[in-house]
Chain A
Amino acid sequence: MTVALSGEKIASQIEKKFPESVIESTADSLLVKGDWLLEIAGYLKTTAGLDFDYLTAITAVDYYDYFEVVYQLTSLKHNHSLVLKTRCYGRDNPALPSVVNLWRGADFQEREIYDLMGIGFEGHPDLRRIVLWEGFDGHPLRKDFL
């Protein structure tokens, strides 16, 4: 069985390495600041004992005040998983760094988030719409689309 790691345990490890980056950590997930996302993701991938080398999914949630982007990471080596979250504020052009260079599977998933939620990913090699057609106006899965 894949063990779902508790966010609190990892939080202390990450706080030591990157001070002031963890906003909140619960038993299910770990919430970090957007500026530290790339470093924390790299740290999670490369550290022995954590080794999160497989990105299961990226999704985004639209709360009215902010967008929350959820990364579900799994380690094939140690058979444990973790949920990593960040928030981005602002509805006009929210942006986050792209994790494509760490996990190739993020490519299409980030395109889907861009397509449906409008969150741009900096550093993504080819950010364009994937499920809707070019020329479609708007980002449908936002709460204020209709």
Chain B
Amino acid sequence: MLADYGYIGLLLVVAIFFAVTTLLLPFSLSLPARLVIYSRRLRQYLDTHYPFLSKFVPPLPKFPKFMQIVPYNPNPVKSSTFECGMETIGTAWVRFNFRYYFYALVFIALDVLVVFLYPWAVELRQLGLFGLVVVLVFIFLIVVGYIYAWKKKVLEWK
């Protein structure tokens, strides 16, 4: 059945295989270790805040050894943010230069133009002279905006 779709079917098989191995398999194999940690944390929380409730939390079942392949031992240093071995100082959300925004904006406008140019270029011969004139009008409309940005010195990096 997949063979009817040719290469797309093969791609689908590969995609499913990839998703299973990279996402589902590690998730399921690490579940026992993570459940141990979570239940330990839950027990600690209950013991400190609601001591009598911890009786009602059942103990975790003993997972078979083959399910305990993927280790999960979090500790504060291990889960800390990586900054080449140093302790992080300050937050990671910094203010970016606004000039990047201008470039991105101009890019968006011209990128839309390019998207429309591609199918025109593919069907160049059929569209002929009339097509050329239409496309030139289209390009002109967008380039007006580009020239406006240029004249306003938006693209200068000071």
A and B in direct contact, judged by CB atoms within 8 A: no
